[in-house]
Structures are given as C-alpha cells and as structure tokens.
Amino acid sequence: MISELQKRITALKLKTNTAILAHSYQREEILEIADYCGDSFMLAQHALNTAEKKMLICGVHFMAETAKILNPNKRVFLANREAGCPMADCLSGEELKRIRESEPDRMVVCYINTAADVKKQSDVCVTSSSAVKIIKKIKEQKILFVPDSNLGRYVASQAPEKDIKCFSGCCPYHDGASIDDAEKAKRLYPFAKLLVHPECRPEVTDIADFIGSTSEIMNYAKASPCGEFIVGTEISIAEHLSYHLPDKRFYPLSKKILCPEMKLTSLPDVYNTLSDIEKNKSSAFELVMDSEYIAAAKKCIDKMLELGSAEN
Ligand code: 13P
Ligand code: SF4
C-alpha cells in the first residue's frame, strides 16, 4: 500500500513540476519520495536551487516560510498545515522589537526556527550547523541570540571571544532530555558513542562525544568506525540511521525527544496536496506572503547563506 501511494506521488510530482523537500525528522516513507532531504541549512540551500516551479515542504511551518522567502516567484506548499514549531512560536516579532530596543548595542542573531516576523527584526539568521561558523565570522562582539537558549549557550561556549546574551526559548522536546536520561543511556550502552544536537541542555551536550546538527550527527555515525551510538536528537534519526546502516546499532537518547509536529505529516498528506495542486484546488496549503514583507525577512537569510556556505 505504501509503495503504491509512493508511485502515485512520484508520477504527480513530475506532472505538476513540484519538488519535494523533506526535513530529516520526517517519516522514512516520506524521505523515500523526497527530492531533497537534510537538516534546516541544507533544506534552505536546496530551496534556493530547485529547478521545479513548485515546492512541497514536508516539515514544519517555518521551513515552508523560509522556502517561500527564498523563492518569492515560486509556489510553495506545506504538506500538513497544522505542523508548527513550539520553539518558533515562543517569540513574536513584536516582542523581539521591544527587546532589540532595550539592547541597541547588540547584533540580533536568530535561529532559523523562527517566524518571518522575527526574521524581519534580525540581522542574521543561523541554523544549528552554521551557528558557530557564522557567529565567529561576524565582526560585532555583542550579540543577542534568539530564541533557543540551549543552542545560544552552546555557541557561546564555542566562541568565548563573543559576548552572547540569550533569549529564554527552547525546543521542548530536545530540552526534555535530562542528564539522568543521558547517564542512564551511557550505563545501558557503555560502548556506544553519544551524539547530541545542540538544542539539548548544556549538561547533556557536556558529556557528549559529538555535538552537531541532524545531518552532522548522521554523517558522523556513517563515517565512524564505532558500531554503536546513542542518538541525542529527534527519535526518527536513530530509526533512519538503522535503515541506512543495518550493521550498526542506534539507540535514542530519550523517548522524550519525539516531536509530534514533525510526525504530523503523512504520505497521504503529500499525495492529497499534490492532487489538489494538479486539480488547482484551494485546499492545498500554500504560503502566500506580501513581496515587501518577504524582502524584509529575506535579508537575514541571505546573510546566513552567504556566511554559512562552504566557500566562505
Ligand atoms: P537541524 O535540522 O538544523 O538539525 O535542526 C533541528 C530541528 O529541530 C529542526 O526543527
Ligand atoms: Fe521545533 Fe523542536 Fe520540533 Fe524542531 S524538534 S520542529 S525545534 S519543536
């Protein structure tokens, strides 16, 4: 049944000239039909380079919004309109404007997990894989980092030359994994390497063997001679790695790192959106944004792509 739907999706993608971009936290059956998958930085880069006239994002709302901002002339759809990000929702553009005014000497660096309203109020955007590189490169010394305090504190530890003040937000799922969870997993799997996302708490990243974004964790596991890993990011990554590397073992750090928002999108959602696009039905969830608004939010994303790219 799954493969039959996947075949229909593949045919509809071609017929409607739509590229499917999926975040790595999506279900395996969705990653299989995606044209591009990866972490947030890779998705933004792919969004800029797709040849197709339309894009269907399998992920959460800010990812579709970012793809639209980067491609104002393309039609961008989100496969499940309910899929949001509680971390992105914890800070509004209005609130950031107020904070900015009270911290006029700080450069505002926002995580990509933010709404376009927040990006409009920010000087540069970063992802988990590009944050340290970008913050080290910018000449300003005083920084306000929003909204993820865990990622902000991790970046501050890697760039001690900067004065970084963090907003108090977090990913409730990554932040849910405690030091007790990490120590318990290490006791259960004493030979496994602990790989952790910087959205986790500092006391958890402190005892990790490797800290990186979703794609960096996957690449580390592939390249490592080690055969066992405790995976400290969304639970799907241990599952995807187990499919791709069946001779290695992957154990989720904690079942608390389960993002229900990322789990909302189903293969039927993808199929239904594509068939709505084909029939030109308004029930497909399309991102519609004013061109001036896009231009204002785009500046900080352009800066991220410029400073975070491999050539820079
Ligand atoms: P990355 O994709 O940059 O690793 O971020 C993880 C995440 O939580 C996405 O919402
Ligand atoms: Fe947002 Fe966390 Fe889910 Fe990523 S894992 S989409 S940061 S709630």
Both tokens of 307, joined, read 């400073």
| Tens-place pLDDT, residues 119-177 | 999 999 999 999 999 999 999 999 999 999 999 999 999 999 999 999 999 999 999 99
Between strands 54-58 and 18-23, the pairing is parallel
Ligand 2 pocket: which of 173, 254, 255, 263 to mutate (most atoms within 8 A of CB): 173
Handedness of CA 6, 7, 11, 14 (dihedral sign): positive
Residues with CB under 6 A from ligand 2: 60, 85-87, 113, 171, 173-174, 234, 259, 261-262
Ligand 2 pocket: which of 80, 111, 171 to mutate (most atoms within 8 A of CB): 171
By alpha-carbon position, which residue is closest to atom 2 of ligand 2?
A: 171
Q: Which residue has the tokens 């004065």?
A: 163
Residues with CB under 6 A from ligand 1: 39-40, 85, 113, 127-129, 171, 199, 213-214
What is the pTM (predicted TM-score) of this model? 0.95
| Tens-place pLDDT, residues 238-273 | 999 999 999 999 999 999 999 999 999 999 999 999
| Tens-place pLDDT, residues 292-310 | 999 999 999 999 999 987 6
SS3 assignment, position 170: coil
Neighbours of 214 (CB within 10 A): 27
Q: What is the CA radius of gyration of the chain?
A: 19
Lowest-confidence pick of 47-56, 101-110, 234-243, 280-289: 47-56
Alpha helices in 52-162 (DSSP H): 61-70, 86-89, 93-102, 116-120, 131-137, 149-158
Among 208, 262, 259, smallest CA distance to 232 is for 208
By alpha-carbon position, which residue is closest to atom 1 of ligand 2?
A: 85
Both tokens of 33, joined, read 């039909």
Determine the distance separating the centroid of ligand 1 and the alpha carbon of 234, expressed in angstroms: 9
Output phi, psi for 14, to 5 deg: -65, -45
